Amino acid sequence: MEKILDIIEAIAHEKNISEEHALEAFTEALVKTAKKLTSFTSNFEVTLDKDTKTYSVHKVITIVADDDEQLLVEVGKEPHIEKVESDGFMALSEAKEFDESLEIGDQLKEEFVLEDHGRTASANLFRELEYHIQRRIEQDLFEKYREKVGSVMLGTVNRVDADDNTYVEIGELKGVMSLRNRIKGETYKRGDSIRALLRYVSVDPQYGLFLELTRTSPKFLEALMASEVPEIADGLVEIVGSARIPGERAKIALKTEQMNIDPIGAAVGVKGVRINAVSQELNNENIDCIEYSPIPEVFITRALSPAITQSIKVDAAEKKAVINITGDQKAKAIGKSGINIRLASMLTGYTIELNEVEGIAERQVDSSEPEVAKTKDTSALEDLFK
């Protein structure tokens, strides 16, 4: 007859779980079955012999003091809880009646032969083993996908329900993307391929083990940028932070310690090929790339681009910035429906207040470059007309 541990090993291979987890499930199934056939207050110990591919089950009784609380256990549910004697422990005075040499902490072991209980034992063991194997499968899947939280997942849309929840098939599990996690204006139908960020892995009484997906998180933008820009993936360019109003506009702050790398140029790519690929994935979301600065005044000013500011006063303690800006630039700073100033505030973490001043803004020439003096002398051109 085939050894029982060989069968468990075959089950592990078939269910695609580790042999260790399969043996743990088998051990738990044996203990649960033994308790069902005797008493739930009993304690059992299972020994597995991998050399002979066999197992043994022993009922274990621990010797305790006569007044030990473990001699009584609570059973039932409120308000019908009662205390009964535990089969897993024995008072010292009672144990002395069997053997005078027994002391507190000693254990009495009695072999429990499952086969002696007939078909009932076999049926119970089968049900328990099936249950615990399924729990181990879910545990392995949970651990597998928990390590992928924060990464981009590719799946196929299975259906969209009446509440516009999108159900996505991803490997062995199903993903759920609610309406609030979907970019405004996007629609899906069955069979569509979809990319989304794995937000978290959850266990629900209705859905079981499932993946929560999102396409509206700033982390999704960052993950897409890392997939399109090798410098970000390699760590040469770092994403300091990002802010999004999904489907409309986003700002992302970048920095690098490499003197020969332009973080903005690397992110945008030749003729905008990299940033455009990310924008298309996000339903043509407009993405502004900003070079990060540890100086709040500089960072906030850059975050308000394309508006040109006159001056800025920052209160680091209150996380507030007051910016003087001319009337012709105020609309740019605020943006359509206030989108630009909201994103700048989200990105920098500062509350931004605009103070309109008189004048018209002009872009400042870099003062580090020497000014070239203009000349009206045309004598150098005279030779061309001889």
Same domain, 199 and 221: no
What are the residue ranges in the chain where pLDDT is below 50?
A: 1-2, 365-372
64 part of a folded domain: yes
CATH number at residue 83: 3.30.1480
Same domain, 302 and 262: no
This prediction has a pTM of 0.70
Q: How far apart are CA 143 and CA 162, in angstroms?
A: 31
143-161 in b/e burial notation, b at 16+ Cβ within 10 A?
eebeeeeeebbebebeebe
pLDDT of residue 368: 40
379 part of a folded domain: no
CATH number at residue 168: 2.40.50.140
Q: How far apart are CA 309 and CA 318, in angstroms?
A: 21
Encoded tokens for 241: 């932070």
Instruction: Examine the fold and report which residue of 292, 316, 344 is the final residue of a domain before the chain moves on.
Output: 292
Looking at residue 119, its amino acid is R
Instruction: Examine the fold and report which residue of 198, 214, 230 is the final residue of a domain before the chain moves on.
Output: 214
Q: How far apart are CA 94 and CA 279, in angstroms?
A: 78
Same domain, 94 and 41: yes
Same domain, 227 and 272: yes
Same domain, 257 and 348: no
pLDDT of residue 71: 83
370 part of a folded domain: no
Same domain, 284 and 336: no
Same domain, 179 and 210: yes
Strand partners, 168: 157, 175
pLDDT of residue 366: 44
375 part of a folded domain: no
Instruction: Examine the fold and report which residue of 192, 214, 236 is the final residue of a domain before the chain moves on.
Output: 214
Alpha-helix runs per DSSP H in 147-272: 218-228, 230-233, 263-268
61 part of a folded domain: yes
Same domain, 141 and 14: yes
Same domain, 39 and 82: yes
Same domain, 221 and 199: no
232 part of a folded domain: yes
What is the domain count for the chain?
A: 4
pLDDT of residue 202: 84
330 part of a folded domain: yes
27 part of a folded domain: yes
Place of tokens 């098939």: 169
Range of the domain at 111: 4-145
Same domain, 171 and 38: no
Same domain, 10 and 101: yes
pLDDT digits (tens, 9 = 90+) for 106-141: 888 888 888 888 888 889 989 999 999 988 888 888
